[in-house]
Structure 1
């Protein structure tokens, strides 16, 4: 589990094809002295399992499932990535609950200066729009952010100078693809609303306005 508060800015050191999967090695300024084999480290919002590490690096294997659902398949050696080690029970909870399980890939469709902040608009895939809420939380490339405004599946974000300095957002531009993770609570609420019908529909959600009305959630 993570908080979405980026710990350090890392760099992709190598990408190696291994049996159809990918092994990635990340250079980082994070303190690696407390890392153990099998620990989780969020890298641009993707929960990766440590298989090897040193004083300033770690390596992880990436499955084809992760490659298909995230931006990792397009990473290049030398590119900047956001790094956050898994939270401890004593960690100050400054962001929101982040699992590191990317829901979809979005696209930066607007980027501009807004006073001292940076303003971005991100177009999310339509299928995850129902999990997004104005003033709710979303994780973008591993950064816990508040959705300022929401227009359908387009969300607007403001990032303060401190966030810009500690993350990879200086590399974001029009057309950049970013990893998105919705608030985990939204996903569980959807399943709870289905009740016993959840077991009958393993492929796609049938939550609709009619379903909500029929079950007394709308009047």
Structure 2
């Protein structure tokens, strides 16, 4: 479980591809790994990965073919910057919202516009993901907890404040960039409850 508050920007150091998926080695930069151990979870651009190897400044994780298919990881390149967050600790506050690290789909950046000191980004999603996204609700984009400004057709938009632009990789986005989308968990459970009532 995560909060969507990014703790560091890291980068992809190495990618080892195979028929079974891929193995990523990730430089962690400022992320504190002092109490991290093999088997712990770290969200990488919003994708929950399990640490398989550790150094003082990097970790390695395996990525399944399923994850490659359902996330932006199929297009990862060596040197790409990624958002990093260690899993939620029991005594840690939740400043964002509860995030599972299970990506629901991929969105594409449709427009980027200045909005005062912030940047407004419009994202297009495919399939039925849009029905789970609500105005003023929470959304997770590349691991970052954000508030939805508006929803229309298959588009939604969010405002990114200057701190978030500099502290995460969202400032690197350009038109047609693909992003990992995780919907608010509450929406999943509400739909499940409603569907059971209809049976």
Could you say which TM-score interval applies, normalised by the shorter chain? over 0.9
Please identify runs of 4+ aligned residues in structure 1 that moved more than 3 A: none
Structure 1: runs of 5+ lacking an equivalent: 199-219
**Structure number with larger C-alpha Rg:** 1
Structure 2: runs of 5+ lacking an equivalent: none
Matched residue, 1:13: 13
CA distance in 2, matches of 1:40, 1:152: 35
CA distance in 2, matches of 1:120, 1:197: 37
Q: Which whole-Å deviations, capped at 9, do the CAs of 1:48-102 have from their partners, x for residues lacking one? A: 0100011111110000110000000101111110000001011111000100000
Paired residue total: 198
Q: Which whole-Å deviations, capped at 9, do the CAs of 1:2-45 have from their partners, x for residues lacking one? A: 00000000101010013431000110120001111111100000
Q: How far apart are 1:119 and its partner, in Å?
A: 1.1
CA distance in 2, matches of 1:135, 1:170: 22
CA distance in 2, matches of 1:116, 1:157: 14
Matched residue, 1:86: 87
TM-score (normalised: structure 2) = 0.96
Matched residue, 2:24: 24
Q: Give 3-state SS (helix, strand or coil) of 1:139's partner.
A: strand
Matched residue, 2:106: 105
Tell me the C-alpha RMSD between the 2 structures.
1.2
Q: How far apart are 1:153 and its partner, in Å?
A: 2.0
CA distance in 2, matches of 1:63, 1:20: 7
Matched residue, 1:189: 190
CA distance in 2, matches of 1:21, 1:150: 35
Of Structure 1 and Structure 2, the greater strand share is in: 2
